[in-house]
Structure 1
């Protein structure tokens, strides 16, 4: 044999050897078992040649277009018996209605498809958008990806469709890729492969057809095939071991479909044809070599990557000749059928090959249950597509994707709040962001914004303002729909980011991760978080991560230049502060919980028991409901906000001196079995001197319940005694009660004297009394050698981040943020707004342990969660657990006294309507209520925290409807009931 003939033969043998060596056992797609079913056979017997071709065509459909669009599709269905439709933008109700109409018009059930790579939200309004695949690439638990696949499958099927053109199996190894990029799971082929298989299996296990794309790999391109034909100049070894690798593994795993891309790959086809039109790629490689027998689908046939230089109809024919089964979005259905029919007549395409393709399409329809087609109901579809499970899964995915690249000095999670002055800067945002609002849930944060086009002067001003802060939290925002690899900031803004990136800064990037390589110096930030995309959910959860609601676990799925390699990512501590989430994450029913609580609050407002209020519910440290209801007063003008402050009334008793006394108990400075006279010598030689604090705090010391101190300031004619109250302040009258009321500086002594002289009942039995709580601030000061408010702020409130937990709130908050209480026409002669309701506390300068504290529900809950945690919160221990066990147990149950030390407890025999708690509250639970209509309650056994704030005393304390309706404990019972639902 001559050498010139031997070389081609040797090459052919080598090629065959390589092809045979690469063949591996594959799992056939399940739908193939139906290719010769009775249903498929019966339909094949009814189709003429043109109708068979029609079954291989899918056309574009929108649910947000005019009537003509619908009629055009109906014409294609009636005239050409097209095989299916691919839905794009619109809304789910209209999509279902249209699909039902299309199915009704079609003699053969239509295959409904959608390109929903990150869920229906990619195409439809009012539906869930899951994270882009690059964010998912950071997740370490692929079971979450599988669960997402199942959920997306259920949503797509509920919207009347049967196939998802996903997952994207491309390995994005080109940071400048303009079309794949964030749509890819990343750069590591094994990570990408594991995740595309998990996603695929989740969908297919739930009865949805899937399509891996874009074969043989679109990741290393710098051209968008929508606009031109990309060229991949790689060796065959490179293609086999990298680009094609995920597709091989998907085929082994039983993928239903593969979408062929518009790519020019010379090593696979020297003709320069797009892969879509290449028999060497769509048949020889994909089917013969890789053994794929499922549906082969073209990428959209209107893209410039395939239409350039190819006429409509002809290009469809060539795609079918190349080996594709379904032509997606043909530009001209009639021309496509004409050219394909002509090719069959000329012998360019065998009729039996057309039949085989049609049988595959029909088999896929039967597997998708279209052989038993029923119209889809559009009623309640938006609710069905936005279930709590779907929303919670989305949160879990985002949470698991967040990636911490820097954590110098364990700056994350943020600790030592009492030492920090924190600023947040949103770069590229036009208004206060969700990120900033969520940061503010944890502590006081001053917010700043830097527009993407900020001037140098604006930047200099901002830098001067930031000099006062020792922690700066920066969010780098992206306003685009897709997180593209573009910085989008001018040089002055980039210079600012470089300068601000230091050890006292935490930066969260909501942009494409590749952007970090284009921001100089960002790697020097003390904390650096990659959120991968900008959405309300990524912003909210990134802020929660910063304060330790949960820990970071994400790993970078791509390399960021020379700054961070693939796999970078640090774990951080979580579970140390509140996690704001959905009730389902705490094992509760969202719909039931919100409906019942809303209903009970509405009932109270309708009956004018309260004008409005705040409700806060947490389970296991997870905030499952935090809402503001109604208005600040009955005038219906100022709606209650979650940031508004309420007068806590007697909840002050367990929120001020009591935690300090427990700390002193731990330190050996305070003994509950010592007496009042031991700590306040003024009372030593009185009948109060020998009262033990165990008895006092359990309300079993026989003290008088209450003294109307204010009545001693009045003459018989109702005017104020000259020695007590003046209209103007002075050195002798420095204590402000109201604008026109200034109390004598020594009046506190009169209060002490009144307490000292008050009669004892002579019985050691339960009788609620707040008298000694007026004295406790002095005790705290004596034991700590620190002013009372300073001690509370430094040792408790600021450390907790409870910055609205305060006395005399007008000194730090605008009046409009403070909810008014009673119209006092007996003592102060004015509506009370911004000062304490309790007269005695007002006469103590607003500072007492009996009453006087203000807060919003969120900040009060931080203190209560510390109690529920038996002394810990935010990674700090405030009080020993043994101390809490002692203070929160019933001290004298043998005397029918249900009280703990300072804390209220459930009645020993009565609960529910006849008790002070919900019927299901456990014996270990504890809390307190307040005269203004407040309640806090903790249940350590069930890990439940409940805060209820209202101003039921508006306009008068005589309004007792809140008690009669039993609103507070009825809502508390709903919490327990929600756990049973």
Structure 2
């Protein structure tokens, strides 16, 4: 485990500069992770891949380069959202017509309304691929846990990456990855677009934040690699993201094109070490970032479309031989310079292998087909990408056939007692005490009012957890704090600035004279905005396990053991209020 970095900040939007790199920067040949049960290795794997490649048509090879969204609760459901320039299609028709290499699932696309439905959808997709004579699919999902969690209950709600960073525990990182991988496998998923290798050194970052382990490259590398190794050991392809590092941006690449102004030296010290470690540890896939990095490519194109970044740095310098997958091609950050037919061509020429979620699948495939027919994308270049994709599938056993999934029994394998206990243990070890007063612990029967941020469901879950600890708890407004023994005021911010209404609620509760326990449910920066409180704790999460850990802290049954994995600036951004590693527990 790494020691705390020495951070020098150049204001809120600047990078933290380390005195020395936290992990070795020398490139080494990527390790080959153990194949999943039923997979192949060595010469057998190569033979299997080459035989499958030789049997594929050009159209099938092009299709392997695409990961599509298939809308609907079943693969036979025709939904208007599946409409492309080729017309409305079911997910099964997308598979058979476009020969796609994989699919990605979301709640908003209707694939994961329930665990049974999600398992039925993945099984149906693999069945459709088999019936069409296609290669088994890589079916992926963004299951980072924490704030990015796709599977519904009873999937285990875990605190997320920054909570793991606060715990400083590789054991917890492996445990979280094991729970997630086993639950994904039970539902039929074969690839997870996680973990993040972004080093979050910018408090203003609107898109990464608690999705990152933190601000220390060594800590990020340690925990991300622990997670990717555990996932792949359990048959789930890991995908680290977002190369070459999205941690120091003040723009969300979903809606704009961020620029990372790090020097090459800063990139080598801050952003690249976690990706180097992931390559050393045999990660299956690396996702690109839609960000401009002038120190690596001064052309102004995003990294996703940059040959110097993807081929020059990732392939040739770092030595990555696995699959390079783009971030979603529907995001604005990659659509600022080229049309939707041209973006995938530019990505392939840059060195990418798989195109994730093109906004119009037929248009995107048509663009690649035209480039192949003209010779702009050579047959050799096409085969290179398909070979890497097939090799990934072979390593996870997919070329031997799709995994067997029983939709009716899948739910029984999620959210077990051991997983829930592990989640609470992680949450307690992550909770970071930043301000310590005299109000805690409370005696049995004390009256507590819960107020502020969080949905009614979140607040009710905390009330229930407090009642389980023997307290008289209720949900209310700031004025209801008067006369209570404690007010628990919740905040939740997606960036550095805490919403004004939340700040007001905390201050009004404090004005009643009742001791206030402030709990930050997401970013830890809220503590510098809410004014004077008796106690302040960063939870990094509003998951049930974090709320139960908070209730345990209130009665003295849980010790908040976390230490900040990021520094917290002063409210005006001119100084540092809490140093990296702070924590009073």
TM over 0.5: yes
Q: Deviations over 1:456-486 (max 9, x none)?
A: xxx4xx57x33xx6x53423154x9x78853
Name the SS for the 1:357 alignment partner: helix
2:539 counterpart (503, 507, 531): 531
Residue 486 of structure 2 corresponds to residue 486 of structure 1: no
CA deviation string 1:856-913 (max 9, x = no partner): xxxxxxxxxxxxxxxxxxxxxxxxxxxxxxxxxxxxxxxxxxxxxxxxxxxxxxxxxx
Q: Distance in 1 between matches of 2:293 and 2:399?
A: 40
1:120 and 1:81 map into 2 onto residues whose CA distance is 33
Q: Encode CA deviations 1:896-931: one digit per residue, 9 max, x unaligned.
A: xxxxxxxxxxxxxxxxxxxxxxxxxxxxxxxxxxxx
Q: Is the 8 A contact 2:197 2:224 kept in 1?
A: yes
Residue 531 of structure 2 corresponds to residue 508 of structure 1: no
Residues 659-691 of structure 1, C-alpha deviation per residue, up to 9 Å, x if partnerless? xxxxxxxxxxxxxxxxxxxxxxxxxxxxxxxxx
**Partner of 2:124 in structure 1?**
101
Match for 1:118 among 118, 121, 145? 145
Partner of 2:20: none
1:81 aligns with 99
* Aligned-residue offset at 1:47: 1.1
> Residues 331, 412 of structure 1: CA spacing in aligned structure 2 closer, same or farther, 3 A cutoff?
same
Partner of 2:568, secondary structure, is: coil
The Cα of 1:152 is off from its aligned counterpart by 1.1
Question: Does the alignment pair 1:271 with 2:271?
Answer: no
Q: Which runs of 5+ in 2 are unaligned?
A: 1-23, 36-40, 83-88, 570-575
Tell me: CA distance 1:450–1:251, structure 2 relative to 1, closer, same or farther (3 Å).
same
Q: Is 56-65 or 322-331 further displaced after alignment?
A: 56-65
Name the structure 2 match of 1:892.
none
Alignment CA distance shift 1:290-1:74 (3 Å):
same
Give 1:163 shift.
0.8
CA contact (8 A) 2:289 2:326 kept: yes
* Alignment of 1:435 onto 2:444: no
Shift of 1:365: 1.0
Shift of 1:433: 3.4
Structure-1 separation of matches of 2:270 and 2:116: 42
Aligned to 1:241: 269
Specify whether residues 402 and 62 from structure 1 end up closer, same or farther in structure 2 by C-alpha distance, changes over 3 A only. Answer: farther
In the TM superposition, residue 358 of structure 1 has moved relative to its aligned partner by 0.8
Residue in 2 aligned with 1:362? 390
Secondary structure at 1:404 match in 2? strand
| 1:549 aligns to 2:557 (yes or no) | yes
Alpha-carbon shift at residue 222 of structure 1 (Å): 1.2
Quick one: structure 1 residues 337 and 425, their matched pair in 2 at CA, closer, same or farther if it must change by over 3 Å? closer
> Does residue 27 of the first structure (1) align with residue 54 of the second (2)?
no
Q: Secondary structure at the match of 2:557?
A: coil
Greater shift after overlay, 135-144 or 202-211? 135-144
**1:297 equivalent in structure 2:** 325
**Cα offset, 1:292, TM superposition:** 1.0
Distance 1:35 1:318 in 2: 33
Distance 1:294 1:536 in 2: 36
Whether the 8 Å contact between 2:489 and 2:505 is mirrored in structure 1 is no
Who is 2:49 aligned against?
40
Larger Rg over CA atoms = 1
Task: Establish whether residue 336 from structure 1 lines up as the match of residue 364 from structure 2.
Answer: yes
Q: Distance in 2 between matches of 1:60 and 1:290?
A: 31
Corresponding residue number in structure 2 for 1:767: none
Q: 1:587: which partner in 2?
A: none
Task: Between the two structures, name the one with larger relative contact order (CA 8 Å, sep ≥ 6).
Answer: 2
In structure 2, do the counterparts of structure 1 residues 473 and 35 end up closer, same or farther at CA, with 3 Å as the change threshold?
A: farther
Aligned residues: 528
Residue 60 (structure 1) aligned with residue 44 (structure 2): no
1:428 and 1:476 in contact (8 A); partners too: yes
Residue 153 to residue 535, structure 1, CA distance change in 2 (3 Å): closer
CA 1:75–1:438 in structure 2 vs 1: closer, same or farther (change >3 Å)? closer
CA distance in 2, matches of 1:316, 1:446: 54
**CA–CA distance in structure 1, aligned partners of residues 290 and 568 of structure 2:** 28
Query: How much has 1:440 moved relative to structure 2?
Result: 4.0
For the pair 1:158 / 2:186, whether they are aligned, the reply is yes
Post-superposition shift, 1:422? Answer: 5.1
Instruction: Tell which deviates more after alignment, 382-391 or 236-245.
Output: 382-391
Distance 1:560 1:81 in 2: 48
Q: 2:489 matched to which residue of 1? A: 475
**Distance change >3 Å, CA 448–CA 130, structure 1 → 2:** closer
Matched, 1:496 2:544: no
Distance 1:119 1:448 in 2: 24
Contact between 1:211 and 1:257, CA under 8 Å: does it hold in 2?
yes
How has the CA–CA distance of structure 1 residues 530 and 39 changed in structure 2, closer, same or farther, with 3 Å as cutoff?
A: same
- What TM-score does the superposition give when structure 1 sets the normalisation length? 0.51
Give, in whole Å, the separation in 2 of the partners of 1:76 and 1:485: 43
- Equivalent position SS for 2:578: coil
Partner of 1:376: 405
User: In 1, distance between residues paired with 2:44 and 2:260?
Assistant: 36
Provide, for residues 699-755 of structure 1, a one-character-per-residue CA deviation record: whole Å limited to 9, x for no partner: xxxxxxxxxxxxxxxxxxxxxxxxxxxxxxxxxxxxxxxxxxxxxxxxxxxxxxxxx
Give the aligned partner of residue 144 of structure 1: 172
* Structure 1 position 56, deviation (Å): 1.2
Q: For the structure 1 residues 160 and 448, does the alpha-carbon distance in structure 2 shift closer, same or farther, using more than 3 Å as the test?
A: closer
1:444 positional shift: 5.4
Structure 2 residue 245 is matched with structure 1 residue 217: yes
Q: Distance in 1 between matches of 2:583 and 2:147?
A: 30
Cα separation, partners in 2 of 1:328 and 1:429, compared to 1, 3 Å: closer
